[in-house]
């Protein structure tokens, strides 16, 4: 039977990237003790008050159809959230979606046709390749290097632009590296977008998980707002990954054009989850603050634990839930290192190749495990890398 081309374009961009994670889960299901550092699932629970809001909303009958743009209360809460960086914002500038992933898929679908280019930092979040290639667009990588703290360099962006480029996809704080774009860098990148008439799509889901530096957004620059769309959600800030509640913020004309696409995909999300999201945005919850304290300390602990292992180098992380570790000095690439680490030490990490071509010699570790569990994982990683070095020296004698 015949299938649409999208099935081929996405055939290798789904679960295959998570093969090590899936193998670790299978081992855990068989009763093996595995330290899982593969996914960004917060290690703190959703605040009980938000669950109660959701529960009471369902009891009040908020379980019926919504509309394509979003529930009024939530839209107004989002206007209040973004007004400090976008003074002229109204509800016409917002569409609600079930999570950042859905928002990003719809936004990219609205901006590019087959053969057109989306510029994105390499490494990039694992699903970016899929949302770009789904409409037949081309992922145009911009190298993010560990020497620059994985921050996109304007010169590298300029070198990557082609006549086919239509969109610059940014992510700050960045997954998988934890890099943070400062205001000056965003301004420089934005100027290149203006010169080449590029849309800017900025994934800001980790906005509130910053432990070094100050968050900046393209929306803060008046000259960039007409070409900027921001996507985000409550998943990370409020440790509410399973509730799937997100949004897109952009020019009113863009949102009007995006609305039929949104309505075709899902025609609104759940009112009771919208009520919970509104309560989260209007409330004074400390979930993100607690995560920031924990993750900052864990970044320092990882750096300290690996400092005496010359074949490993931990990357700089200013926010988010992950740290990248360069394993090139072990003689293995990230893929081989991750698989052997799982088999020999019972620690599951993500190979850098899951996030692009520029990090094949790296692995990504999640910061979302209790301190002692994460410390034990670092000890095992250190021991594994040291054993590789010892074997390498013995073989050379």
With residues binned 3-state (H G I as helix, E B as strand, rest as coil), the percentages for the chain, rounded to 5, are 50, 15, 40
Average pLDDT, the chain: 94
Confidence band, pLDDT 50/70/90 cuts, at residue 393: low
Contact 382, 390 (CB under 8 A): no
Confidence band, pLDDT 50/70/90 cuts, at residue 11: confident
Q: In whole angstroms, how far apart are CA 292 and each of 97, 99, 172, 178, 320?
A: 26, 22, 15, 12, 8
Query: CA 11, 15, 18: angle at the middle one, nearest 5?
Result: 135
End-to-end Cα separation, the chain, in angstroms: 59
pLDDT at 390: 67
User: pLDDT for 24-53, tens place per residue?
Assistant: 999 999 999 999 999 888 889 999 999 999
Which residue, among 392, 374, 370, 393, has the nearest Cα to 382 in the 3D structure?
374
DSSP assignment letter at 115: T
What 3-state DSSP class applies to 290? Answer: helix
State which H helix or E strand residue 55 sits in: helix 48-59
Structural tokens at position 111:
């901006």
- Can the peptide bond before residue 27 be classed as cis, meaning omega within 30 degrees of 0? no
Contact 295, 129 (CB under 8 A): no
DSSP string computed for 85-110: T-TT--GGGEEEESSHHHHHHHHHHH
Q: What gap in Å lies between CA 260 and CA 131, rounded to an integer?
A: 18
Q: What gap in Å lies between CA 194 and CA 216, rounded to an integer?
A: 18
Structural domains of the chain sorted by starting position, each given as residue range(s) with its CATH number in brackets = 5-45+287-396 (3.90.1150.10), 48-282 (3.40.640.10)
Exposed/middle/buried for 301, CB within 10 Å: 0-12, 13-18, 19+? middle
- Can the peptide bond before residue 318 be classed as cis, meaning omega within 30 degrees of 0? no
Which residue, among 128, 92, 91, has the nearest Cα to 112 in the 3D structure?
128
Is the pLDDT at 115 greater than 90, yes or no? yes
User: pLDDT for 216-265, tens place per residue?
Assistant: 999 999 999 999 999 999 999 999 999 999 999 999 999 999 999 999 98
User: pLDDT for 12-32, tens place per residue?
Assistant: 776 677 899 999 999 999 999
The least confident of 14-18, 203-207, 314-318 is 14-18
Higher pLDDT, 12 or 354: 354
Contact 296, 92 (CB under 8 A): no
Is the pLDDT at 169 greater than 90, yes or no? yes
Q: In whole angstroms, how far apart are CA 40 and each of 49, 320, 384?
A: 23, 9, 24
For helices 371-396 and 287-306, what crossing angle results, to 10°? 20
Phi, psi of 336 (to 5 degrees): -65, -40
Give every CB contact of residue 116 below 8 A, 6+ residues apart in sequence. 137, 138, 164, 165, 166, 167
State which H helix or E strand residue 138 sits in: strand 138-143
Contact 128, 255 (CB under 8 A): no
Q: What gap in Å lies between CA 202 and CA 217, rounded to an integer?
A: 8
């Amino acid at each position: 039977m015949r299938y649409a081309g999208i099935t081929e374009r996405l055939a290798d961009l789904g679960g295959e990237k998570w093969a090590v994670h899936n193998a670790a889960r299978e081992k855990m299901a068989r009763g093996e003790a595995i330290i899982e550092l593969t996914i960004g699932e917060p290690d703190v629970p959703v605040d009980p008050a938000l669950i109660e809001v959701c529960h009471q909303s369902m009891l009040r009958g908020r379980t019926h159809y919504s509309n394509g743009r979003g529930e009024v209360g939530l839209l107004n809460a989002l206007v209040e959230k973004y007004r400090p960086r976008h003074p002229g914002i109204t509800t016409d500038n917002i569409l609600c979606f079930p999570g950042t992933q859905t928002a990003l898929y719809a936004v990219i679908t609205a901006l590019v046709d087959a053969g057109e280019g989306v510029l994105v930092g390499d490494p990039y979040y694992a699903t970016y390749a899929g949302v770009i290639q789904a409409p037949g667009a081309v992922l145009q990588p911009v190298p993010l290097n560990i020497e620059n703290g994985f921050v996109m360099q304007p010169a590298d962006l300029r070198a990557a632009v082609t006549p086919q480029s239509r969109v610059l996809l940014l992510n700050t704080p960045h997954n998988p590296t934890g890099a943070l774009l400062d205001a000056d860098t965003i301004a420089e990148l934005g100027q290149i977008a203006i010169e080449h008439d590029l849309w800017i799509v900025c994934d800001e889901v980790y906005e509130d998980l910053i432990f070094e530096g100050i968050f900046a957004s393209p929306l803060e620059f008046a000259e960039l707002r007409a070409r900027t769309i921001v996507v985000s959600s409550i998943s990370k800030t409020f440790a509410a990954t399973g509730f799937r509640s997100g949004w897109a913020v952009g020019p009113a004309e863009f949102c009007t054009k995006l609305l039929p696409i949104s309505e075709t995909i899902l025609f609104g999300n759940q009112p009771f989850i919208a009520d919970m999201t509104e309560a989260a945005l209007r409330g004074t919850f400390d979930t993100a603050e607690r995560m920031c304290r924990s993750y900052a300390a864990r970044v320092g602990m990882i750096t300290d634990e690996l400092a005496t292992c010359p074949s490993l180098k931990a990357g700089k992380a200013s926010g988010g839930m992950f740290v990248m570790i360069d394993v090139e000095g072990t003689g293995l690439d990230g893929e081989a290192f991750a698989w052997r680490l799982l088999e020999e030490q019972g620690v599951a990490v993500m190979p850098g190749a899951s996030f692009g071509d520029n990090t094949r010699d790296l692995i990504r570790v999640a910061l979302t495990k209790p301190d002692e569990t994460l410390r034990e994982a670092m000890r095992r990683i250190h021991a594994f890398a040291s054993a590789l070095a010892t074997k390498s020296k013995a073989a050379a004698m």
